[in-house]
Amino acid sequence: MLSLLLAFGVAACGAGDAPSPDEAVASAQSAVTDEVLEGLASIPGLTGVSEKPSNIPGTRFFVLQFEQPIDHDAPNGPRFTQKIALLHRSFGAPTSLLTGGYAVNTKKVIENEATAMLQANQLYVEHRYYGDSVPSGPQYEHLDIEQSAGDHHRIVQAFRPVYTGRWISGGTSKGGMTSIYHRYYYPDDVDGTIAYVSPSTYSASDPRYVKFIRNVGNAALRAKLIAYQRELLIRREQLVPMMEAKVAQWGLTFDVVGADRAFEFGALEASFFFWQLCPVTMCEPLLPAPDASDEELVDFYVNWIGAPFNYDDETINVHYGPYFYQSATQLGHPRFDEAPLMDLLRYPGQDIAANLTPVPVTIPFSHGLMAKIEAKTRAHGERMLFIYGENDPWSTNKFEGKAKNDAFQFVVPGGAHNVRIADLPEEDRLHALSRIFAWADVPFDPALARTAAPLAPEAYEDEAPGPFSRLPPR
């Protein structure tokens, strides 16, 4: 125990000169009285602990390294380390298991809504094959939802004997999807789940998204968006170089997809991005008319809907390449509405996930898997909340629950992809909070509900270049 705590104590020192042997021994002796480090030292599979400052009163912030099998079907085979950001309050408090769908930001303390409202601990887990949690060997060979669920199952098994309060899992968008898949394979691991804006997509080109885009909002605004998309494509010869110049300030290039094709994909998806990212009251007045200047057209394209940041080389090779691979093989991907733009398209049918991966997709899509998970979740998923925004295209295909299973779906009227429980109508908000507090075994006073659920920083991945952080899945 002393030698392990010594290793933790040195890791917590961070960068700089290594302590002298006498200082290290003194630090280790002091650390023996540190109940938090002692508790962490007892967790099997934990191979690294580094403490960083926390600006949240009453908490400590650690970056952990947890050993995982690359293949859970071969537990004694090769291993990799998975990064976890731990926000610690007390071992007896509830624990929020935040299942990240991508890389995890450990440069700053991030506290999600459930963690803040419950005054809970938080384990924010980086998804395998993203960020620093990348197994060696053939790329993406073991990147699938069952292997990911196995990662979270092992983490729960290892940490729950130490963090003894109730456990609530959840995440946003792909992170929420990940929490649902974890419950599908391991329904009893946690005491409740909150999945925000998490779709169920049936195919590698799901046509239901087209139907949603053709009916969301009002007809006048939809017509304005189509007119804007068409004008982008009509003026593509002068707008593509302008797009390239704007993103060059962040060092971004389009060698994988090609600038012209990337621009067309962004124009095709512009209506999708608009409804996903932009509050209508803010963005509708900013939407350029067909007679707007080139600068106005491209400024909205880059700075308001962030279109080009989905197809640049850094996105594909670093940030979201594994996501596109997962979309092409299991998670599914939207089909985009080409019909109003068909006469202006040079690459029809090419805006699919398989064309946005850093490695070729060589396995077929798992047809039926998502529908099976959705059906089982609807019929048998217990103690689950599904939160959606009415205008968000990712709410096209919502997960549902049954009241008899203490599982519920809530929709924020007019909401986009960044909705939270705090945004729900009052009756729905109080209902959702009452269930979360009950699952966490924390007293709930409706009269104090406003202060019980403070807004907290978004639990998104490391910021990507550009004026907007990309809001996953796209």
pLDDT at residue 291 is higher than 80: yes
Structure tokens at 445: 């006073």
Q: Which long-range contacts (CB under 8 A, 24 or more apart) does 53-60 make?
A: 54/87, 54/109, 55/109, 56/87, 56/109, 56/111, 58/89, 58/119, 59/87, 59/88, 59/89, 59/109, 60/36, 60/87, 60/88
pLDDT of residue 452: 74
Q: Is the peptide bond before 161 cis (omega within 30 degrees of 0)?
A: no
pLDDT of residue 19: 53
The helix-helix angle for 369-380 and 174-185 (nearest 10°) equals 70
Pick the range with the lowest mean pLDDT from 1-5, 43-47, 200-204, 422-426. Answer: 1-5
For residue 9, what pLDDT band results from cuts at 50, 70 and 90?
very low
Structure tokens at 347: 């690459």
* 43-200+370-452 carries CATH number 3.40.50.970: no
Q: Which long-range contacts (CB under 8 A, 24 or more apart) does 27-31 make?
A: 28/2, 28/3, 29/2, 31/5, 31/6
Give me the mean pLDDT over the 375-397 stretch.
Answer: 96
pLDDT at residue 15 is higher than 50: no
List, as one string, the DSSP characters of 353-392: GGGG-SS---S---TTHHHHHHHHHHHH--SEEEEEETT-
460 Cβ contact partners less than 8 Å away, ≥ 6 residues apart:
105, 110, 172, 469, 471, 472
Q: pLDDT of 116-157, one tens digit each?
A: 999 999 999 999 999 999 999 878 999 999 999 999 999 999
Beta strands in 121-220 (DSSP E): 121-125, 167-172, 192-196
For residue 281, what pLDDT band results from cuts at 50, 70 and 90?
confident
Structure tokens at 155: 């983490």
pLDDT of residue 318: 86
Q: Is 119 left (phi over 0), alpha (psi -120 to 50) or beta?
A: left
Collapsing DSSP to helix, strand or coil, 407 comes out as strand
Residue spans per domain, the chain: 43-200+370-452, 208-356
Assess contact for 62 and 88: CB atoms under 8 A: yes
pLDDT of residue 21: 53
Q: Are strands 60-69 and 407-412 parallel, antiparallel or unpaired?
A: unpaired
Collapsing DSSP to helix, strand or coil, 167 comes out as strand
Backbone angles phi, psi at 400, to 5 degrees: -125, 160
What percent of the chain stands above pLDDT 90? 80
Average pLDDT, the chain: 90
Burial of 248 per CB tally in 10 Å (0-12, 13-18, 19+)? exposed
Structure tokens at 306: 């962030």
Structure tokens at 6: 């010594």
